[in-house]
């Protein structure tokens, strides 16, 4: 891909999103990643879906 940025798809779910500390940690990581590359975050399923 010349001249185009590759994107990242990040699928999240499970216990990581149920825990407040886990959500805080992943939010920090998402902000860092989004500053470097196009990013799409999708829900990984689970009880909520």
Domain boundaries, the chain: 8-43
- With 70 as the cut, is the pLDDT of residue 6 above it? yes
**Residue 7 pLDDT exceeds 70:** yes
The answer, as to whether pTM is greater than 0.85, is no
CA 8 to chain centre: 9
Tokens 């825990």 sit on residue: 19
Residue tagged 């590759």 (tokens):
6
CB 10 within 8 A of CB 43: no
Query: How far apart are alpha carbons 12 and 39 in whole angstroms?
Result: 13
């Amino acid at each position: 891909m010349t001249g185009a940025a590759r994107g990242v798809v990040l699928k999240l779910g499970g216990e990581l999103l149920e825990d407040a500390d886990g959500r805080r940690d992943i939010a920090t990581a998402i902000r860092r990643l989004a500053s470097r590359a196009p990013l799409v975050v999708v829900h990984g399923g689970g009880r909520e879906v």
